[in-house]
Amino acid sequence: MLRIGVLKEPTDHKLTVLTPSGVERLKGRAVVLVQRDAGRGAGFTNKAYEEAGAELVDSEEALLGGSDLVLSYGHRDLRNRKIEGKTFIGIFNFLWEPGHVDHYLRSGVSVHSLDLIPRSTLAQSMDVLSSVGSISGYQAVLLAAERSLATVPMITSAGGTLRPAKFLVMGAGVAGLQAIATARRLGAVVKAYDVRTASREEVESLGATFIEVEGAVDDKSAGGYATQQTEEFLERVRQRIHEEAAAADVVITTARVPGKRAPLLITEDMVMGMKPGAVVVDIAAATGGNCALTEPDQTVVRNEVTILGPTRIESSCAYSTSFLLSNNYTSFITYLLDHQEKLSEDPILSATLVVQDGHSVNQRILALQGTGK
């Protein structure tokens, strides 16, 4: 029977990609090995895994040695480990760091990177980026509310009435829409911007005001993601956002382009024009950031404006994120087992397959490697 191994993530990551309930879902199809304490950071005990039917192993080396299929959240440097003949499943972000593919070019190794899952109805239950995005948008609002000098909802008391905070959300993908919804639930007045004009309806349905700037390139083949825009258009966006940011108490930026540096939307001049005590939460920090002053995983204060650049904001809500990811991973594994005989023809499996039998095979990644990125 297939043996699936679950690696323990680095201490600062907290997440696990397979929860005890995920182990139960795989019963009858695989034996599941879990590295000891793999779920502890997310609130899942070793005992819970054992009761679900998993076998605990004490080390990464033992887990790799006993597994056919290895699960992790992100890329791991396994160059000093014996990984020949293994299949790896994770969120490896090869579009951003294609050089990491070389780590897996060894005999019999195959790799599926779930951040390449196509945005389609068939693949919806496997969409890890939507799961991570939902939690990231939610957590960004809570982080901003904690750091803001102003209350988020309108509050009336004996001392007077406090107006609701003004939020500006940049990007109306999954993370942005969740940020809008969360801020609105807390009572904020929200404005939002996205290059995709089709986002207007979703933004307005959540009770926010959509900011429209004419001239965007809207690529329907981009699978629901943002599309690279011209510098001329981005400059028009910055001029409009400059006005909106100056009035905002909180700015949350979520704009990313697969395989590209995050677009610059909040310039230093914009930050200098913001009100003292304002907060910027840039959840695109891992790919360069949407704010010119963002430092990954650092708090920057400029002109009394606080800029936060969390790169693992989803880990701060590790239990919930792990629950969602576990469902995504088990759905993908089940699909893989059912359709692996048509690997090269299947629209989901071929899209996620990056390494096959030790060779780099994904055309999107090969194109990036060819540019020397």
Whole-angstrom CA distances from 205 to 13, 170, 184 are 34, 17, 11
b or e along 127-136 (b: 16 or more beta carbons within 10 Å of the residue's beta carbon)?
Answer: bbbbbbbbbb
Catalytic residue among 59, 124, 340, 363: 124
For the record, the structure tokens of 38 come out as 């793999």
Strand 353-356 to strand 359-360: parallel, antiparallel, or no bridges (unpaired)? antiparallel
Query: 301 pairs with which residues across the strands?
Result: 306
Catalytic residue among 29, 81, 119, 236: 119
130 is catalytic: yes
Q: Among 165, 97, 182, 148, which Cα is nearest to 278's? A: 148
For the record, the structure tokens of 202 come out as 């979703």
Catalytic residue among 35, 67, 110, 130: 130
Residue in the structure block whose two tokens are 């396994």: 78
40 is catalytic: no
Cβ-based neighbours of 230, under 8 Å, separated by 6 or more: 217
Asked whether the CA dihedral 1, 335, 116, 323 is positive or negative, the reply is: negative
73 is catalytic: no
364 is catalytic: no
Catalytic residue among 36, 40, 225, 316: 225
119 is catalytic: yes
Catalytic residue among 127, 194, 282, 346: 127
Query: 112 pairs with which residues across the strands?
Result: 89, 353
C-alpha 48/C-alpha 257 separation (Å) is 39
For the annotated catalytic residues, the residue numbers are 119, 124, 127, 130, 225
